[in-house]
């Protein structure tokens, strides 16, 4: 009983900070509320996650806000969190961009960046020059890929399959090779089994959403 009262107090405190236009203070309190609510209390946890996403959006942390909203709407599939989630995300389950081409670009870049960083022990770049070289290789890959037949007339599900299978040859930065070089892209099979899913197909988790907006959504780099 005491634990339930404590989580309710934390949630109310976070809402009070939001109402006073202090999202930075609300953020920490709402995170504490989310951590304190047991998974079995799905409605309460969904509500806390929704308000956490509001604080994150006000702080312009869109990727983390979408992550919070995605979890909230899964816990309570018919409610305000789902409506806000669907208004906020694109076909890839990422924050909407001004154009469809930018949606594709950010999906590709985030998939490639995550694949690169997940191979690094600390999940981050070791130097500024490494970051710049990696970004250049990814951007050069995108320029070549975006006009290819595999992407040009494809739907979201088909693009996701291409983006996740596409491999970029990166220099070995551990031995000092930081200069960007000609991109060699290949379509080797990745560990992600996307073949059975299409953008219009419903996610197998039973959420009622397309796979590409649910369990198959593109995670932002900040979610690594």
Residue 184 has φ and ψ, to the nearest 5°, of -115, 110
Query: CB-based contacts of 185: which residues, under 8 Å, 6+ apart?
Result: 141, 144, 145, 166, 167, 168, 169
pLDDT tens digits for 126-150? Answer: 999 999 999 999 999 999 999 998 8
pLDDT per residue as tens digits for the range 63-75: 999 999 999 999 9
Structure tokens at 11: 């949630």
Q: In angstroms, rounded to a whole number, what is the distance separating the alpha carbons of residues 84 and 115?
A: 29
- Contacts of residue 196, Cβ cutoff 8 Å, sequence gap at least 6: none
Which residues, other chains included, contact 94 with Cβ-Cβ below 8 Å and sequence gap of 6+? 63, 66, 103, 106, 107, 110, 217, 218, 220
Domain annotation for the chain: domains and CATH numbers: 2-88 (1.25.40.10), 100-223 (no CATH)
Contact 28, 51 (CB under 8 A): no
Residue with tokens 């089994």: 193
Mean of pLDDT values over 102-125: 94
> What pLDDT score was predicted for residue 223?
84
Name the pTM for this structure: 0.81
**HSE, side-chain direction, 13 A CA sphere, residue 44:** 18
């Amino acid at each position: 009983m005491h634990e339930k009262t404590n989580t309710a107090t934390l949630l109310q405190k976070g809402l009070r900070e939001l109402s006073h236009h202090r999202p930075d203070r609300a953020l920490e309190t709402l995170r504490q509320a989310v951590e304190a609510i047991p998974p079995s209390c799905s409605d309460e946890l969904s509500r806390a996650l929704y308000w956490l996403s509001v604080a994150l959006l006000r702080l312009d942390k869109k990727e983390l806000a979408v992550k919070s909203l995605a979890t909230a709407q899964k816990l309570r599939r018919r409610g305000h969190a789902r409506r806000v989630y669907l208004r906020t995300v694109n076909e890839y389950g990422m924050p909407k961009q001004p154009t469809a081409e930018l949606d594709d670009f950010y999906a590709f870049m985030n998939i490639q960046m995550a694949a690169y960083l997940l191979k690094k022990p600390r999940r981050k770049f070791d130097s500024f020059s490494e970051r710049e070289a990696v970004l250049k290789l990814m951007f050069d890959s995108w320029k070549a890929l975006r006009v290819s037949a595999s992407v040009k007339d494809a739907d979201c599900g088909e693009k996701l399959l291409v983006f996740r299978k596409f491999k970029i040859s990166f220099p070995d930065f551990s031995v000092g090779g930081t200069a960007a070089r000609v991109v060699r892209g290949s379509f080797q099979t990745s560990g992600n089994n996307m073949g059975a899913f299409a953008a219009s197909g419903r996610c197998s988790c039973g959420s009622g959403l397309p796979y590409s907006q649910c369990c198959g959504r593109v995670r932002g780099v900040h979610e690594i």
